[in-house]
Structures are given as C-alpha cells and as structure tokens.
Amino acid sequence: MTHTTDNQTNATERNPVTDAPKKKLIEVSLPLEAINVASGREKSIRHGHPSTMHLWWSRKPLATARAVLFAQLVDDPSSNPDKFPTLEAQEKERRRLHGFIEELILWENSTDTEIMAVAREEILKSNGGRLPKFLDPFAGGGSIPLEAQRLGLEAHASDLNPVAVILEKALIEFPPRFSGRRPVNPNATRRMGEWSRAEGLAEDIRQYGMWVRDEAFARIGHMYPRVVAPGGTSHTVIAWKWARTVRSPNPANPIETPITSSWWLSKARGRGAFIVPRVVDGRVSYEVVQGNGGPSKEDDGTRVGRGARSIADGTPISSDYIKAEGAAGRMGSHLLAIVAEGERGRVYISPNDDQRAAANVAVPVDIPDEELPFDPRNVWTPSYGLTKFSDLFTNRQLVALTTFGQLVEEVRARVYDDAVASGMEPGAPLEEGGAGAHAYADAVAAYLALGVSRCTDYNSSLTSWNSSRDGLRNTFVRQAIPMTWDYAEANPFSDSSGNLLGQIEWVAKAVEQLPASAPGQAIQASAAARDYDGVAISTDPPYYDYINYSDLSDYFYVWLRRSLKQILPKTVGTMLTPKTEELVANPYRHDGKQGAEQFFVDGFNAVFDRIRRSADRAIPMTIYYAYKQQDGGKGTGSSSTTGWYTLLGGLIDAGWEITATWPMRSERGGRLLSLGANALASSIVLACRPRPAEALATTRRAFVAALKAELPSALRHLMQGEIAPVDLAQAAIGPGISVFSRYARVREADGSDMSVRDALLLINSTLDEVIGEQESDFDPDTRFAVKWYRQYGWGQENSGIADQLARSSDTSVGALERGGIFEAKGGKA
C-alpha cells in the first residue's frame, strides 16, 4: 500500500487556536442510544446482510461501524470556533450532526447513494478536502472496512487468518471490479434497466449455483432417496436423525446402546412425534410414534450427565468408558428416524433398510484428514476418537461436500466462456488484480465456494435436531466445535435448512446489497508487521482469550482450500490457518496462562506502538473491546477484567492517550453463546490519540485532584447528550481514563507507577462521589442504572435486589423493563 501523505497533519486539520489536531465528534458526543437501537434492530435483519455471507465470530453491526467511522472522521464543532464561536452554536451543530448520523445508520439507507454522498461531503469538509485512506489490521469478518468503503474511503483490510481474508476480499475487493456489469449467464433474469453495484455478479452466482446443484444431483442424487410414509405417499427427506453408539460395559448384556439426549422429534401441539426404542434378541429397533404422549423428562434419552445408561438394562456407562471406546474406534451409529417434507409441515417416519443402505457409501478421496487442534476448552471431539476434520462428517456428507468442491472448480470454465461471449476481455486472474473474464470466472467460483463452506455448518455429524422448532441446529451454535451424540444429517438437495442452493442464495443476497463503490484491498498479513503510513485506523482486535479464531476457522478452511487452491492460491497456500503469530492468549499454545498472557501483552503492545509511529495523526484511532456480561462485574479475577486491563494498559504503554470511551450494545448475544461464561454481550469503543512526547509525569494526589476537577463537567456534558441511563456509568469512565492516559506516568507515594487497575479503582471511586453529588439531577431510570452499575457492573443479581434498588430510585422493575434498562427473568435481573 502506497501513500502520498505522511503522518503529520496539515493546517486545515489543526485547531486554529491551539494548533493541536482538531477534536473529532467521537471524542465529544455521540447519539449513543440511536446507534444502539439501530444496531439491535440489525440483528433481526437476515436477507442481504453481509454477515449472512458466511459465519464469522463477533462481527460488528454495520450501524455501529458506520456511526463510529463517521464520528471519527468529522470535526466536533468546538474544533472550529471561527464557524461556531459560542457554546450554543456548537451544541446546535452537534444536534444537526447527531440527526444526520441517526439517518445514516439505518439499514434501509445502506444503499442510498444520496445519503452516502452527503456523508462523504461532511468527511471532506473536516479533512482538508481529502478522503482519508482507511485500514483495519484485524479485519475479521470485514464489517468495519465495508462501512469505510460505503462512506467513500479507499478501504484496506488485513488479517492473519486466510478465512477472514477471503471474506474481506468477497466484501470489499472483488465487487468494485465488477460493479455495474450485467450478468453473463445466458439464463440470467432479463432486466430493462441498469444493473447497479454488484447485482449482476449476484445474479450469476445464483445461475451458476443452480448448475452446480443440478450437476451434483445428477452425480450423487441416488444417495439421497425419497422416503415412503406408512400411507404410501412419497416424500423428500429433510434430515436423517442418527445416534452414536457404544456397547454396554455389562459383560452379561453387551448391547450396542444409542447415546441420545432425547427421543422427541417434535413437541408441536397437535403434531408431536417421538421415537420408541425396542430391544429384541440383543438388538435395538426404532419406531416413530405420532402424538404428544411421549417420554417424560426422567425417561427421555439415554444420556445421564456426561455418561449414559444401557438401553437394555440401565447399566451405567461412564464418560471415561465412552471416551475409551471412541478412541479405540469402537463407536458406531444407529439411524433413529427420518424427517421429511409434507404438505402441511414435517413428516416423521421410522427408519428402514433402504434408507440405511443409501447412507452406506465409501469414503471419497481427498477428504480433509488434517488433525484437529489440541484445545480442550473449545474443541471437544478428540477425546472421543474424532481426531481429524474428516471424522466430523458422515461418509455421505464427505462425498457430497467433495463433489460440490469439484464442481466449483469445473464451473469456472463455463463462467469464463460465457464472460468472453458477452464481450469481456480475458484479462489476468482474480488474485493478480484482474477484472476481465478470467477474474470474473474466479470471482463467481469464489462466492460459490463460500456457499459450499456455509453448507458445512449444516452438513456435519455435529448438527442436531431441534424438537421445539422442528428444524436443524447448525454446527456452530456456540463458538466451539462441540461433541454431538444424536445428530441430524441434512439433505443438501431438499428445500429446507442446510440445502446447497439455499446456502448459495444467502451469499448472492449479501453480494447484491454490497456498495461495490470505492476501491478496496484485503491482504493476509500480521498486524505486527504491516505498514500503517498515513492511514486512519478503526479496528476490533482479538479479545484476549475469548475466541480461538484459527482453531475454529480451520473447520471451514480445510474445505475452502480444496475449492479455492486454483483460484486464490496465495491466500490458501498453507495446509491450515496460521497459529504461531495469532494474537490470542491461548494457554495450550503458549505454555499455560502466564505464558499466554505475556504473549498477548507483548504482541498487542508491539502492534499499537507500530501504529502510533506512522498512522494519520489528524484522525483518532478507534478500537472495539467486547465485554462479557457474565464476567463483567467489578470483580478482578475474571478473564474479562484481565482482558480489559490488558487492552487499556497496552494502549497506554504503547504511547496512546484515550480520549473517549463509548458503550455499544453491539454483540449478537444469541449467536455467540460459548462455553458457559464466554458470551460476548456489549462492546466498548475507545477513541485514542498518540500521547505527546512532552507529556509530563504526575503524582497520585495530583491525578485525583484532576479527576475531581474535570469529571463533574464531563458527566454533565454526557447527561446532556443522547445517552441511555444504562450506558451513563460506563461512558463516564471515558473522561477519567482520558485524564490518566494523558500523563507519561502517575507515581504512587512509594515512587512506583500506578497500574491501570488501580487507576480504574480511583476513577470509579471519584465517579461515585461526583454521581452522588449530582444524583438529584437524574431521572429515576438513570438513578437506578447508575446505582446498579456501580454495585454490580454487567453482572446478574436476584430480582429482589433489583426491586429494592428500583424502589429506592423512585421507579419499578416493570417500568425499567419497559424502558429497556434490563430484563428480569428466572428470578434474575
């Protein structure tokens, strides 16, 4: 990446009075509640949202990313006293900017070119008539660089993980090359007008996706036969429900026992269905019974805790015994039931020999036999003998997925011929920057490969059947590779969840909505080694030890590599995703917790020291930190608080001054359920500037005095802004940490340097005093939210405590629930 500017600010980007870089809006004020509402609403938007192109963990909502970027790039009115000389004029201009942000971030306006043009004009006005170049060095799922591109910036993204890089390329790099082009497939939808953005590309993804599906069915459709119901009607199968089996340890009755959590297939009222197992002559058979009179909770399934019980006589089967049987290769499987498409819903049918025989196919060649990582916290299957990625799929699934991958390679030739016939020049390959027929064929195939990769999430032996919703659960219900005992094998040629064409349609709809405007580039690079010269930075770095991206993404990479090795050979050049340099505090990779913490701290500090030395100084850097509600109280021992202290300490040690912190309710809670407490729930966005080289040291006493002098006015300013009561206490930490980070160091009475942990304790203590003095100015909801946060942070407590606190704040639990402050459920608030 080359740049024409250095990291010095020009005259139009400096405050005319102080000659310091101009304050940006994000350092002063945000319409926080509107951003949080838009981000929350976005979670329910499915079709066309870029997050639906492919799974990635902890993606940021587009509304949050767009608002943060805009406010990061646009001047706060106080920075232009010549235009806004009075406080009243400045506040009026802030309200105007807030109103525009509220309109800008709506999902419905994502493709509104007029609104985006106004946004670009505002950015140009605040940056000397230039649009800054943008970079996210931890781009992950690509939300932030995508929104930079949507705002008209030249967007650059990088990540060490090749799966992330493929997604980033699919979002910001490939679409602009083919923007406005008509589809080349002869069967494409006819249209009188123009094809905007990447709509033509999306249509070709659909058309060639149908060819892949039809060709695959011609080759392997016999492995997915229809099923005949007891009444003689024929149905397309949706899924086959299987259970893993082990022999009972009882030597007198060593029956092959299914390990299942539930015999229920559907609990729908009036349409219930369940499985009845029968033991005859040492063998188990299964019958599907219609109705709602199925097993009770006590009799449901054979699993007991981490172990099981014999289907014949109830003999306990320990977890250790099951693991030993699995490790010895003695784990089998039984077909329990068949789920099929009916005229009025699902049809549940007993298994038969024809359906068992259809699943009994040979293992294909070139399967993903790479070893699963050693990560007992997030990868559970190796303990049970499933040690390779290929072990996570049935033989029939392996045949289907390898066939789909082969057809992705084959379809390139068809796309190329059609593209040349439509008038495209051959040109260079996609990975070499081409934009002709060769590159177009590569691009269509790359998106189809993402569709196939999406399929793997629904086509593994780790998917399960949800009897409450009558549907499939995907593999990654949580951010882990789990062990599933009774699994549902989807039919990729049905019209239900997990079907190939449906997965390709998700990809096509996402491509259809992309801006495909300004140039974009995504590269595979370590954040510690890449160039940051003169770029604006907004990034969502790894969250300490919360998500082991490389271990989890290998699940997709082993399939993507097989589809893309001829299309993106540089990007998928390694057997598995890189592990050694990944900036995650993984104790299994770095000699325990202490080694993992040191690795993370050293790597984090090196990255942000490198950024500080060369990034665009006219624009503050913004960083996201995802907080875990379950761990996020005011305790000091959780990995959440460790990660928070590490982030703040790393930035300050690397020479950054934190100028603002904003709480964003931006995580998809239902999508990111992890192991117990590892569920990301809320983000904090930090705005940071390089600390001046001449910054002074101070004492603890002077630091506390500065806090007491500055926090009251800062708190009043926050209260005047558009901020929800529940967010006020967290947002108020920003001005305090800004005071702390402006000093080169803060010395304790014994001469040692004050830690971030101790600084936050002092900030919270001072905030308690200030808030206590100003509490009479708060409305009841705000009084409650501040009291709750000061006592319990993000944690849960008994609803009775919430009721008492609500009454003391002159409000009620019901009113607080209606106001969206919190939810009381199951005796917890």
Give the pLDDT score at 497. 87
785-800 confidence digits (pLDDT tens): 666 655 555 556 666 6
C-alpha 366/C-alpha 238 separation (Å) is 27
Query: Containing H/E element for 327?
Result: helix 319-327
Of residues 47 and 237, more confidently modeled: 237
Give the pLDDT score at 798. 62
Strand, helix or coil for residue 690: strand
Of residues 586 and 803, more confidently modeled: 586
Mean pLDDT value of segment 273-300: 92
**pTM for the full model?**
0.89
Query: Containing H/E element for 308?
Result: strand 307-309
Mean pLDDT value of segment 282-287: 95
- Examine the pLDDT at 430 and tell me if it is beyond 90: yes
- Examine the pLDDT at 3 and tell me if it is beyond 60: no
Per CATH, which fold does 11-178+518-545+566-690 belong to? Rossmann fold (3.40.50)
C-alpha 78/C-alpha 92 separation (Å) is 11
Mean pLDDT value of segment 203-224: 98
Mind giving me the DSSP string for 735-773?
HHHHHHHTSSEEE-TTSPBPPHHHHHHHHHHHHHHHHHH
The ranges assigned to domains in the chain are 11-178+518-545+566-690, 223-395, 692-829
Give the lowest-confidence range in 38-52, 347-361, 522-536: 38-52
Amino acid at the residue 350: S
Mean pLDDT value of segment 174-188: 95
Confidence category of residue 168, pLDDT binned at 50, 70, 90:
very high
**How much of the chain is helix, strand and coil, in % rounded to 5?**
45, 15, 40
C-alpha 619/C-alpha 17 separation (Å) is 18
CA distances from 335 to 338, 463, 713 (A): 8, 15, 68
Confidence category of residue 636, pLDDT binned at 50, 70, 90:
very low
CA-based torsion, 279, 280, 284, 287: positive or negative: negative
Give the pLDDT score at 320. 96
Mean pLDDT value of segment 433-457: 97
Close Cβ partners of 227 (under 8 Å, ≥ 6 residues apart) = 234, 235, 237, 338, 340, 349, 352, 355
Give the pLDDT score at 827. 47
Pairing relation of β-strands 536-539 and 621-628?
Answer: parallel
Mean pLDDT value of segment 167-189: 95
